[in-house]
């Protein structure tokens, strides 16, 4: 079991460029989440999904879009990157809404 | 508005002693609390949790205490070991549907030999 994997691990973007972060889990979990971590702020929920084909907004959704076309994958898109989106992005999954979340290793994104 | 606060950015403890990490919350709807541990360049890993119907939960060297009236929880690690050096996040949720966790800022724990 690989658990939760994230691609890529690092990325540098110029302002206005777009990119997609991929999260994959092999635990057959229904729920998946995207967080961002900024210094002194802890982790903040961007978007989440309660099952294949569903998505919902979290605490800080502006500037991001997500898709869950397959149960095992959760994609986070940045259509027009801004320096304020420089952060470390974590994906997580859980079997149910009341269970512990399992996190991926993170993607460090820098927008210049 | 920070709903979950960890007011100590760092904590240094001698090996073998007790480590106590604190967390305060403001939202009275929170009824499930978790602690996560994070090493550099890795994702957070789940450590221990507690439901609001309990005031204590223990798992080996780790114990979490919940004081609902004070809206305060703490994580006790005893005895502290060098491998416990990490950043610890507390998180809270109102268990309804998807578990939308609200995290504190984290406390960096350093265990000194």
Bridge-partner residues for A4, per DSSP?
A: A25
Report which of B104, B110, B76, B111 is spatially closest to residue B7, judged by C-alpha positions.
B104
Rama region for A95: left / alpha / beta (φ>0; ψ in -120 to 50; rest): alpha
Q: Inter-chain contact A48–B101, Cβ cutoff 8 Å?
A: no
Q: Which residue of B has its CA nearest to A56?
A: B98
Helix (H), strand (E), coil (C) string for B53-95? CCCEEEECCEEEEEECCCCEEEEEECCCCHHHCEEEEEEEECC
Q: What tokens appear for A17 in the block?
A: 């460029």
For residues B21 and A36, give the distance between their C-alpha atoms in angstroms, rounded to a whole number.
23
Percent of chain B with pLDDT over 90: 88
Q: Please tell me whether the peptide bond between A51 and the residue prior to it is cis, using omega within 30 degrees of 0.
A: no
Model confidence over B53-88: pLDDT tens digits? 999 999 999 999 999 999 999 999 999 999 999 999
What is the full DSSP assignment across A67-96? E-SSTTEEEEEESS--GGG-EEEEEEEESS
Residue B97 pLDDT > 60, yes or no?
Answer: no
Report the pLDDT value the prediction gives residue B17, as an integer from 0 to 100.
98
pLDDT of residue B45: 96
In chain A, which residues have their Cβ closer than 8 Å to the Cβ of B7? Answer: none
Q: Note whether B98 contacts A44, CB cutoff 8 Å.
A: no
Per-residue pLDDT of B39-54, as tens digits, reads 999 999 999 999 999 9
Q: Can you tell me whether residue A99 is helix, strand or coil?
A: coil
The stretch A2-17 carries a mean pLDDT of 96
Could you tell me which of B69, B88, B68 has the C-alpha nearest to residue B20? Answer: B88
Contacts of B104 in chain A (CB under 8 A): 42
CB B10 within 8 Å of CB B108: yes
Nearest alpha-carbon partner for B79 in B106, B107, B60, B64:
B60
Q: What is the pLDDT of residues A17-76, one digit of tens each?
A: 999 999 999 999 999 999 999 988 889 999 999 999 999 999 999 999 999 999 999 999
Quick check: B99 and A94 CB within 8 A?
Answer: yes
- Measured between beta carbons, which residues in chain B are less than 8 angstroms from residue A48? 98, 100
- What distance in Å separates residue B106's CA from the closest CA in chain A? 6
CA angle A6, B38, B65 (to 5 degrees): 130
Per CB-CB distance under 8 Å, the chain A contacts of B95 are 97-98
User: Residue B105 corresponds to which tokens in the numbers above?
Assistant: 């800022």
Q: Is the pLDDT of residue B96 over 70?
A: no
């Amino acid at each position: 079991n690989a658990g939760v994997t994230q691609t890529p691990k690092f990325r540098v973007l110029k302002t206005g460029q777009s990119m997609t972060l991929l999260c994959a889990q092999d635990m057959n979990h229904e729920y998946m989440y995207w967080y961002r971590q900024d210094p002194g702020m802890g982790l903040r929920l961007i978007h989440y999904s309660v099952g294949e084909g569903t998505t919902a907004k979290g605490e800080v959704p502006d500037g991001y879009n997500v898709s869950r076309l397959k149960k095992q994958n959760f994609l986070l898109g940045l259509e027009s990157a801004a320096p304020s989106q420089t952060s470390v992005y974590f994906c997580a999954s859980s079997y149910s809404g009341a269970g512990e979340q399992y996190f991926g290793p993170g993607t460090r994104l820098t927008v210049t | 508005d920070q709903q979950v606060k960890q007011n100590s950015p760092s904590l240094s403890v001698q090996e073998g002693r007790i480590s106590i990490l604190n967390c305060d919350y403001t939202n009275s709807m929170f009824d499930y609390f978790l602690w996560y541990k994070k090493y550099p360049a890795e994702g957070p890993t789940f450590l221990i949790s507690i439901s609001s119907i309990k005031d204590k939960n223990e798992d080996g060297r780790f114990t979490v205490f919940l004081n609902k009236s004070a809206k305060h929880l703490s994580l006790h690690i005893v005895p502290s070991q060098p491998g416990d050096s990490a950043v610890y996040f507390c998180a809270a949720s109102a268990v309804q549907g998807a578990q939308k966790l609200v995290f504190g800022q984290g406390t960096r724990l350093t265990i000194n030999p």
